[in-house]
Amino acid sequence: MSNVVEATRGAIVESRHVVHVAVAHAERGLIAGCGDARHVSFVRSAIKMFQAVPLAEDGVVERFALTPEEVALCTASHNAEPFHVAAARAILAKAGVTDDALACGPHPPMYAPAAHALERSGVAPGRIHNNCSGKHAGMLALARHHGWSTEGYHRADHPVQQRVLQTLCEWSGLEPSAVALGVDGCGLPTFALPLDRTALACARFAAAADRGDTPAAMIVRAMTRHPEFVAGTGRLCTELMRAASGRVFAKVGAEGYYCAGVPERALGIAVKIEDGARRASEPAVLAVLHALSVLSVSAWERLGDFARPVITNTRGEAVGDIRTRLTLVPASPSRERQGGVSM
């Protein structure tokens, strides 16, 4: 198969992940893919840049003087390192609310040293440590800006979430009625989209950023100039955006989803691992960027530990690795007509 990520041990493939990929161009729609490029699944946190669009579009960034770092945090699945927590609190303070207004549930910081430090300090993980707290803080600022109640801002029928759904539909070219909803890990609505539509939204976002259009340009600039605020220490989103020197924006989502965009080429990429494994989505998105010749040789080498991770055991021995076997297939015009990816 040309769309798998394999986990090896010794000379054997121990486990195997099926990969679905869609690559879209802002004007031409789906141009390549592998697996089922129209696979429908929840986009989860991989589209957080679109959830931040209303902040730029409606004037929230200006109104509350959000810094680029804070805008980046609004698109983040962050590590809850001290600088993430401080930035989330800064957004809340500017919006005139406190931690208690956050609707996301508590979980330990994703960054192990931060989690250990919290554990040792005897402080229980709070909502502020949720990897989505920046996004939630931004949504609270959006509600305050419009004079909407902050109560229940996370529910699908609240104006904040209606505004987000409208945004995602604008960029992906779907009717709201065509988008099934689920509840995300942090309590917000999440959206089931065909993979090619997610890729198309990213491609259009990339093209708009390249043209310098707000909101895309503001958000992509914030993400790519402050990538440590989008994820954090040791995380692929951060390292990929650093290695690509501003030429790529990237965002991971739960259950094996990954989105990326290449502004100068008006390309959008959406990856979904059939079984939801993150260990497969990270090498897969890098393999796609490599296949598209997006990454320089030095960037590709720098990201080697993410592209082909070594599997180690509790003794620290290398016992296997993760290998991506992925061939992008050009999208056929007939399939495009059938699938109805019209621009």
Chain positions contacting its own copies, by CB under 8 A: 7, 9-12, 14-18, 40-42, 103-107, 116, 119-120, 122, 130, 180-187, 190, 192, 255-256, 273-277, 280, 313-317, 319-320
Nearest distance from residue 274's CB to its own copies, in Å? Answer: 5
Nearest distance from residue 211's CB to its own copies, in Å? Answer: 34
- What is the distance between the alpha carbons of residues 114 and 95, in angstroms, rounded to a whole number? 26
Q: Which is nearer to its own copies, 11 or 297 (CB)?
A: 11
Nearest distance from residue 2's CB to its own copies, in Å? Answer: 17
DSSP code of residue 124:
P
Sequence-ordered strand ranges (E) for 47-187:
180-183
Q: What angle do CA 52, 56, 170 make, to 5 degrees?
A: 65
Nearest distance from residue 27's CB to its own copies, in Å? Answer: 30
Nearest distance from residue 101's CB to its own copies, in Å? Answer: 14
Nearest distance from residue 16's CB to its own copies, in Å? Answer: 5
Q: Which is nearer to its own copies, 293 or 315 (CB)?
A: 315
Half-sphere exposure of 40 (CA within 13 A, CB side): 9
Nearest distance from residue 319's CB to its own copies, in Å? Answer: 4
Q: Which is nearer to its own copies, 190 or 238 (CB)?
A: 190
Give me the sign of the Cα torsion angle 146, 149, 150, 153.
negative
Q: Which is nearer to its own copies, 88 or 218 (CB)?
A: 88
Q: Find out whether 3 and 34 touch, Cβ atoms under 8 Å.
A: yes
- What is the distance between the alpha carbons of residues 47 and 126, in angstroms, rounded to a whole number? 24
Q: Which is nearer to its own copies, 40 or 343 (CB)?
A: 40
Sequence-ordered strand ranges (E) for the chain:
3-9, 12-25, 29-34, 40-42, 180-183, 189-194, 249-253, 257-262, 267-273, 310-312, 318-326, 329-330
Q: Which is nearer to its own copies, 16 or 146 (CB)?
A: 16
Q: Which is nearer to its own copies, 107 or 323 (CB)?
A: 107
* 54 residue type, one letter: P
Q: Which is nearer to its own copies, 15 or 67 (CB)?
A: 15
- What is the distance between the alpha carbons of residues 331 and 267, in angstroms, rounded to a whole number? 14
Q: Find out whether 280 and 16 touch, Cβ atoms under 8 Å.
A: no
Nearest distance from residue 48's CB to its own copies, in Å? Answer: 16
Cβ neighbour number for residue 327 with a 10 Å cutoff:
12
Instruction: Give the contacts of 307 (CB within 8 A, at least 6 positions apart).
Output: 283, 286, 287, 290, 300, 324
